[in-house]
């Protein structure tokens, strides 16, 4: 033990706590090396810095993680009928499709009768349907043109009923491919659709379908606008 102490003293080392440090200055090859007890403080500081950096990195990753998206009203259920035409519905608005009764049951309780026999049911791609106005977008009172410069009003109810202030006032409406299609009891058919940032009303006289050229096209304005 005495021999080791004499050796350490000879090389300039002294015991500091649980380790030995050079307490003197030595030269080797013209380069000066200095060792002191600050090594322990440096190691502790480095460990603290690394620990804090890892915590900050974890916080930044958690903050950058995108929040879950809210339910999208534009996730579509597309019903394809046997006669070839199709009808789209927002998944967030319907409770179920009753195939036996051939009707759509909405979450608010009202039912919508399907016009033809169903061939199949598909789920629309968001990229194709994401820009379509929802059914809810068309509910309300619309100011539309007659085609001769005069105006009248069309009201679309949540339960699928439609009313107008011109001619036979009653009809029914459905939401098809992002537009409201109205069948009036007097035989006329109207469609209200979004075109760019505006809306238009397209009218088809009795005996004509929505696939035929329209009888007139006028502007349409919802006096009770709702979100897309």
pLDDT, tens digit (0-9, with 9 covering 90-100), for 10-45: 444 455 554 444 444 444 444 444 444 545 665 666
Confidence of residue 72 (pLDDT cuts 50, 70, 90): very low
Residue 68 pairs in a beta bridge with none
Our CA angle for 63, 64, 66, nearest 5°, is 105
Start-to-end CA span in the chain (Å): 88
Alpha-carbon distance 69 to 224, whole Å?
27
| Locus of tokens 């009795």 | 206
At 223 the pLDDT is 92
> Which domains, ranges and CATH numbers included, belong to the chain?
2-64 (no CATH), 72-130 (2.30.30), 133-228 (2.40.128)
Q: What is the pLDDT of residues 121-163, one digit of tens each?
A: 877 654 444 567 888 889 999 999 998 989 999 999 999 999 9
**Number of residues assigned to the chain:** 228
| E strand or H helix that includes residue 151 | strand 151-156
Contact 192, 201 (CB under 8 A): yes
Across 107-139, b (16+ Cβ under 10 Å) vs e yields: eeeeebebeeeeeeeeebeeeebeebbbbbbbb
Whether the model clears a pTM of 0.75, i.e. scores above it, the answer is no
Q: Is the pLDDT of residue 181 over 50?
A: yes
Q: What is the pLDDT of residue 85?
A: 67
The pLDDT, as a whole number, for residue 48 is 65
**For residues 108 and 158, what is the distance between their CA atoms, to the nearest angstrom?**
9
**How many of the other CB atoms lie within 10 Å of CB of 85?**
15
Q: How many CB atoms lie within 10 A of CB 152?
A: 14
Specify the pairing of strand 111-113 against strand 118-123. unpaired
Q: Is the pLDDT of residue 202 over 90?
A: yes
CA distance 22 to 8: 9
DSSP β-ladder status, 189-195 and 179-184: antiparallel
Where do runs of H (alpha helix) occur along 65-201? 126-129
Q: Is the pLDDT of residue 186 over 70?
A: yes
């Amino acid at each position: 033990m005495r021999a080791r102490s004499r050796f350490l003293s000879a090389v300039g080392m002294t015991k500091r706590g649980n380790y030995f440090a050079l307490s003197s200055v030595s030269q080797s090859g013209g380069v000066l090396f200095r060792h002191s007890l600050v090594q322990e403080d440096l190691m502790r500081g480095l460990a603290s810095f690394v620990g804090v950096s890892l915590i900050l990195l974890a916080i930044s990753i958690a903050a950058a993680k995108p929040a879950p998206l809210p339910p999208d009203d534009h996730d579509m259920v597309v019903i394809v009928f046997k006669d070839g035409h199709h009808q789209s519905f927002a998944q967030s608005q319907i409770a179920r499709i009753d195939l036996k009764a051939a009707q759509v049951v909405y979450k608010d309780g009202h039912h919508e009768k399907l016009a033809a026999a169903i061939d199949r049911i598909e789920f629309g791609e968001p990229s194709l349907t994401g820009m379509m106005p929802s059914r809810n977008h068309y509910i309300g009172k619309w100011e539309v043109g007659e085609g001769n410069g005069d105006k009248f009003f069309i009201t679309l109810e949540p339960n699928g009923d439609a009313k107008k202030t011109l001619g036979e006032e009653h009809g029914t409406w459905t939401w098809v491919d992002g537009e409201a299609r109205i069948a009036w009891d007097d035989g006329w058919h109207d469609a209200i659709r979004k075109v760019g940032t505006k809306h238009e009303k397209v009218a088809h006289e009795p005996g004509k379908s929505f696939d035929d050229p329209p009888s007139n096209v006028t502007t349409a304005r919802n006096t009770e606008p709702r979100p897309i």
